[in-house]
Homo-oligomer: A and B are copies of this chain.
Amino acid sequence: MSKQDLAPAASAGCCAPVAAAPLDEERATGLAAVFKALGDPVRLRLLSMIAAREVCVCELTPAFDLSQPTISHHLKLLRQAGLIDCERRGTWVYYWALPDALDRLVGFLTAARADA
């Protein structure tokens, strides 16, 4: 039996036949990488602080009970996920948020939300 045609298009009737495409494997991998970056309380708090306004690392590190290398590691993961970016200005390094990555996540979630 072919499971290609999962959608019975039963009583759905008029509108919304198979609302969102079932999320192909490639797109799922890309999205999952970003979600995984948010799957840690420390990184979530870091992102929320950075999204509020551009922040220097020297303000972020003392806000946690973690070592400086650990905070630096989490910032690197957020950056690799495309959620933030940084720049060195003299002695200090400043981080800011990249809204596009958040937009992609919201797009997926609202599509799933709409289906449900």
**Copies of this protein, total:** 2
Does B45 lie within 8 Å of A28, measured CB to CB? Answer: yes
Asked whether, in the complex, the Cβ of B38 is within 8 Å of the Cβ of A20, the reply is no
Q: Is the interface of A mostly helix, strand, loop or mixed?
A: helix
Question: Nearest residue in B to A30 (C-beta to C-beta)?
Answer: B41
Task: Kindly supply a per-residue 1/0 record for chain A positions 74-116, scoring 1 wherever the CB is within 8 Å of any chain B CB and 0 otherwise.
Answer: 0000000000000000000000111100110110111011011
The answer to whether A53 touches B115 (Cβ under 8 A) is: yes
Residues of B within 8 A of A110 (CB): 102, 106
A15 → B minimal CB distance (Å): 10
Q: Interface of A with B (CB < 8 Å)?
A: 3, 6-8, 10, 17-20, 22-23, 25, 28-29, 31-33, 35-45, 47-49, 51-53, 59, 62-63, 96-99, 102-103, 105-106, 108-110, 112-113, 115-116
